[in-house]
Amino acid sequence: MAEVLITGANRGIGLALVRSLAMRGDRIHATCRRPAEAVELKALAASPGFAVEVIGMDVADPGSIRAAAAALAGQPIDILVNNAGVLGPERQSTLDIDFDGWLRTFEINTISPLRVVQAFLANLRLSAAAKILTVSSRMGSLAYNRSDRIAYRSSKSAVNKVMQGLATDLRGEGIAVSVVHPGWVATDMGGTGADLSPDVSAAGIVRVIDKMRAKDSPRFYNYDGSELPW
Ligand SMILES: NC(=O)c1ccc[n+]([C@@H]2O[C@H](COP(=O)([O-])OP(=O)(O)OC[C@H]3O[C@@H](n4cnc5c(N)ncnc54)[C@H](OP(=O)(O)O)[C@@H]3O)[C@@H](O)[C@H]2O)c1
């Protein structure tokens, strides 16, 4: 039984991860920015046999992150999944970009994952073999040369770099750090034409979590366990 913290757990891939991990008996600290509106998540938390605690946390608000960390002070966390993310503004081509929207995208997709890790690092250090997995995207791979959605792509390229550095800094403590591409998933972000259901993607991500080891990190995993070029 692992203690797991997930961000953006109220819908999409985050919600499917809560379901998948809770079904196998893990204990989930499921965070989302508006718990009062998280109807599906609260229904999961009320399911018999599921150990799911819903916690309010807006990853773009440092005070909110601090408050969530204070609520869990002294409790070990074995697995932290940075899942919360945004696609970014309407206008995001290199020739016509909404700069404020790009900054906001960076704040949520790039800066917040590290802010969350730092806030919960004391909890992770209480685990015998902690794991930090950030849900990134193949769209951020420098080997994938496309120019659409450049705000989103650059935010994911940057979070990959941040997590690569974090892996180096935490490897000696036995904490594994990697990033994962969840596939093209039918969520509000991925749209209805996507390849995978959230449950299939989440099942793959859970297998990735299980094979993460500090000595092997960092890796850029695809949801199916294969590896992607950074
Ligand atoms: N779907 C895909 O095909 C795909 C492909 C590659 C990568 N990804 C990545 O997978 C992750 C999950 O995406 P998804 O497809 O499940 O997207 P989604 O359905 O749009 O869900 C996004 C989640 O992030 C949360 N979030 C956004 N801003 C937040 C904030 N400031 N604080 C806390 N939570 C916040 C949302 O909460 P609210 O409900 O409060 O907005 C929601 O729970 C993202 O990092 C995304 O970039 C998705």
Our answer on whether the CB atom of 182 is closer than 6 Å to any ligand 1 atom is yes
What is the phi/psi pair of residue 89, to 5°?
A: -75, 165
**Mean pLDDT in residue range 71-86:** 98
**Strand positions, DSSP E, the chain:** 3-6, 27-32, 51-56, 79-82, 92-93, 96-97, 131-135, 176-181, 220-222
Domain ranges of the chain: 3-222
pLDDT at position 30 is: 98
- Is the C-beta atom of 89 inside 6 A of ligand 1? no
From 142, 151, 144, select the one nearest 108 (Cα to Cα). 151
The confidence score (pLDDT) of residue 191 equals 97
Which residue has the CA at smallest separation from atom 24 of ligand 1?
A: 84
| Pairing state between β 96-97 and 92-93 | antiparallel
CB of 33 closer than 6 A to ligand 1?
Answer: yes
In whole angstroms, what is the distance from residue 206 CA to residue 210 CA?
Answer: 6
Instruction: Please state, for a pLDDT cut of 70, what percent of the chain lies above it.
Output: 100
What gap in Å lies between CA 17 and CA 83, rounded to an integer? 9
Please state the CATH superfamily assignment of the domain spanning residues 3-222 in this structure.
Answer: NAD(P)-binding Rossmann-like Domain (3.40.50.720)
Give residue for tokens 């960076």: 106
For ligand 1, the distance from its centroid to the CA atom of residue 174, given in whole angstroms, is 28
Reported pTM: 0.98
Q: What pLDDT, on the 0 to 100 scale, is given for residue 137?
A: 98
Arithmetic mean of pLDDT over the chain: 98
The pLDDT > 90 percentage for the chain reads 100
What is the pLDDT confidence band of residue 92, given thresholds at 50, 70 and 90? very high
The per-residue pLDDT for range 196-230, each reduced to its tens digit, is 999 999 999 999 999 999 999 999 999 999 999 99
* 45-62 residue pLDDT tens: 999 999 999 999 999 999
Structure confidence by residue, pLDDT tens digits, 158-197: 999 999 999 999 999 999 999 999 999 999 999 999 999 9
Which of 223, 127, 225, 133 is closest to 184 using CA atoms? 223
